[in-house]
Structure 1
């Protein structure tokens, strides 16, 4: 059986020092192995790494072409504990240089949500879901 877990998510960075600086401006804590050549940020359940896109394609043995202005075809999510946190957090993201794609608003499913993109157009949802359940580390375990 394949272990049912996601341990590490890696974003192929076109300009790693710039992308790393954005996540630092969000106030995210890095691991000790981070550098201008590879950065790893701690989150509640999964490590988020940034790796130069050329190195990633070489390592995986694939060709990836993503123009700088294109959005990545994946969305990451940050879920918060209270609906007001969506509004407060989106302002911090705006101040850190995030591109706000959807201002905070009510969601059809009963929560509150907003969307932003990092400097390389990786999509993020910021959401409060009234049915979310988090473990003691803050990792979402159900919704």
Structure 2
């Protein structure tokens, strides 16, 4: 029997959260569509238009990964999530909506050195999101990102 060929794919990003109910409400309020609700509050899945955003209790996720759940990092964690937008106005609107729903504005939107426009917010558990419009990266009418070859 020959070894199976492994095809790399990015399918789900799971965020460890402190309060499932609060985080579910936050991401639903941003407009992400919750799917597979049969899981209740044990785990929550949101359709993001290409991948899945999952929420799982912080301590249980750490335990599942075989890592300690404390101390929880207060500094930059080395990861950002991106919300690619079609225009500067959409970046501003995304940041405003996130803050209105309970996010913390980390950096107001401004022009970037690569010709884009972006700002940053943190969700209620400190997960960092970038709202960005970037030259050469197209966001289709379906909300999916298309990269040039």
Shorter-chain TM-score tier? 0.7 to 0.9
Could you tell me the TM-score, scaled by structure 2's length?
Answer: 0.85
Higher relative contact order (CA 8 A, sep 6+): 1
Q: Which runs of 4+ in 1 moved over 3 A?
A: 68-72, 134-137
Bigger-Rg structure (1/2): 2
Could you tell me the TM-score, scaled by structure 1's length?
Answer: 0.88
* Residue 8, structure 1, aligned to residue 12, structure 2: yes
How many residues are treated as equivalent by the alignment?
A: 143
Within 2, Cα distance between the matches of 1:66 and 1:21?
25
Q: Is the contact between residue 85 and residue 139 of structure 2 (CA under 8 Å) also seen in structure 1?
A: no
Is there any run of 5+ residues in structure 1 with no aligned partner, and where?
none
After superposition, the CA RMSD in angstroms is 2.0
Within 2, Cα distance between the matches of 1:88 and 1:133?
18
* Residue 46, structure 1, aligned to residue 51, structure 2: yes
Shift of 1:68: 6.9
State the Cα deviation string for residues 32-75 of structure 1 (Å, max 9, x = none).
33522211111011100001122212222222434374443310
Counterparts of 1:88-127 in structure 2, within 5 Å, are 88-127=93-132
